[in-house]
Amino acid sequence: MSTYIEQLVWSLIRTSFTKRTFCYLLLSLITVIIRTHIDAVTAYLLTPDIFILNSLVRIIISTILILNSKYIYDIVQRYTPEVYNLSRYLINNYNEKNFKRWKQKVNLTMCIYFYLVTYIIDITSISLRVTIIEYLICYIIVEIIDNIKKGDIKIFSEKQFSCLNNDDNIIEELIKKTENMNELEVF
């Protein structure tokens, strides 16, 4: 029974839909990695000595980059055929032996990369806390902007029009005002 289920799962995993979906996930991951590196490099280059100003600059840079991630994704999306070939290769050649080999290579690459980063930039627990707080503020700003765009948050409240006690005079006056405005627009 388990072999039949495994065969069914593998046949579903190897579909072109799964490969395309995995490809778009990889493209999104690449976009996030590039955006994070642009953010880190520009923030590192533009860091003033004043602590609060430094944090404000990093929040502004992060917010701008997050709101403009679409442009980074558009650039990364140019490499869709190559990323799709990679996703096909990974899915078609997945087995336990290859997985262990890929895991070792990825772990070694990440360890070397993070070693070099910590060699260049001194990372302390205080700098991590400050960075976490800056990103929280950044994402709160981005969420507020997204909610404003969606219309969930309204900056200017609309006046509510209500008729209490079936007062038809108010409605008739409103109709007359709109008719008068239409007549004025004709001239």
68 has pLDDT over 60: yes
Mean pLDDT of 2-26: 80
SS3 48: coil
Contact in structure between 85 and 163 (CB atoms under 8 Å): no
Rg (CA), the chain: 28
Rounded to the nearest 10 degrees, the angle between the axes of helix 16-45 and helix 51-67 is 150
Positive or negative torsion for Cα 161, 167, 170, 171: positive
177 has pLDDT over 50: yes
pLDDT tens per residue across span 108-129: 999 999 999 888 888 888 888 9
What confidence score (pLDDT) does residue 79 get?
Answer: 94
96 has pLDDT over 90: no
152 has pLDDT over 80: no
Q: Which residue has the higher pLDDT, 120 or 79?
A: 79
Counting Cα atoms < 13 Å in the Cβ hemisphere of 40 gives 11
71 has pLDDT over 80: yes
What confidence score (pLDDT) does residue 24 get?
Answer: 92
Q: Which residue has the higher pLDDT, 19 or 48?
A: 19
Question: For the chain, what is the mean pLDDT?
Answer: 82
